[in-house]
Amino acid sequence: MSLNTISVIGAGQMGIGIAQVCAQAGYNVVLNDVSDEALTRAMSGLDERLTRLVERERLSREDKEGIEARIDPSRDYAQLGAADLVIEAASENEAVKSGIFKTLAPHLGSHTILASNTSSLSITRLAARTDRPERFMGVHFMNPVPVMQLVELIRGIATDQATFETCRELVERLGKIATVSEDFPGFIVNRILIPMINEAAYVLYEGVGSVESIDRSMRLGANHPMGPLELADFIGLDTCVAIMQVLHEGLADTKYRPCPLLVKYVEAGWFGRKVGRGFYDYRGDVPVPTR
């Protein structure tokens, strides 16, 4: 199947990133969110990022204008459903995602493929709640989308070959690299990454090391570009906990139990960079460890 138009549901960091790379590849994109404010904020942030690229001579002004012109912010579900592919990029909550697909269903064309950017939830289960499980895929982009090369492709049990090939061709056209994961909790990247972050939180919780010493140890001792706690703040501590809960419930192994300290930070609303506080406090000129 040939893709010409793509709809993206969710104008957060992931959604606007997906919209950007699709528009850069020449696709017409409809970007949806529940509020006009979120759409305005997303488009304003995109303009700022692209302007910086122009100033650094990494993008021409004509290309910047073309990217922005190909993204149409809209709250109209009928406009969304007319696309060849709809990519859901809402928060990592199964009830929210299922509700979106249910609301979208009456507006979909018979040919439309549905995809979820979920980072851990069952593709088979999400697909089963739609009217087209054979045309449903997991297409998991990494954050930040414009920078990261990898996209995980996850087939549900009913996903047909044509849908898989169409999504794989999309990834290639976006200039990214696909890996294929079986439909198990956390897929590949987060099955490995998030437990590492959770273990780092346990090391902090047990007093083995401070925030600064843990991150410095992994940057200098394991050559990681970011320490695990710094990375957790970048991902969002709420997202990290949500994924750990999916792993814990789906795999029934106590080694995936979310660290109580990580849960406490989330309960406090300290989700990381996006709210100004997490394992670091970002409200000043320089991030300061909170422990």
- Interval 226-279: pLDDT, tens: 999 999 999 999 999 999 999 999 999 999 999 999 999 999 999 999 999 999
Q: Are the C-beta atoms of 11 and 27 separated by less than 8 Å? A: no
At residue 77, the pLDDT reads 87
When pLDDT is averaged across residues 62-75 and rounded to a whole number, the result is 96
Q: How far is 273 from 20, CA to CA, in rounded Å?
A: 21
Could you say which DSSP state residue 272 is in? B
Q: How far is 270 from 282, CA to CA, in rounded Å?
A: 11
- Closest alpha carbon to 130 in 186, 174, 181, 88: 88
Q: How far is 251 from 246, CA to CA, in rounded Å?
A: 8
Active-site amino acid positions:
119, 140, 152, 190
Which tokens hold the place of 28? 């017409």
Tell me the percentage of the chain whose pLDDT exceeds 70.
100
Task: Tell me how many degrees the CA angle 66-42-234 measures, rounded to the nearest 5.
Answer: 115
pLDDT exceeds cutoff 80 at 1: no
- Closest alpha carbon to 139 in 94, 95, 176: 176
- Closest alpha carbon to 19 in 2, 37, 33: 33
Instruction: Name the residue ranges covered by the structural domains of the chain.
Output: 5-181, 191-279
CATH topology of domain 5-181: Rossmann fold (3.40.50)
pLDDT exceeds cutoff 90 at 127: yes
When pLDDT is averaged across residues 106-126 and rounded to a whole number, the result is 96
CATH number of 191-279, picked from 3.60.21.10, 1.10.1040.10, 2.40.37.10, 3.40.50.850: 1.10.1040.10
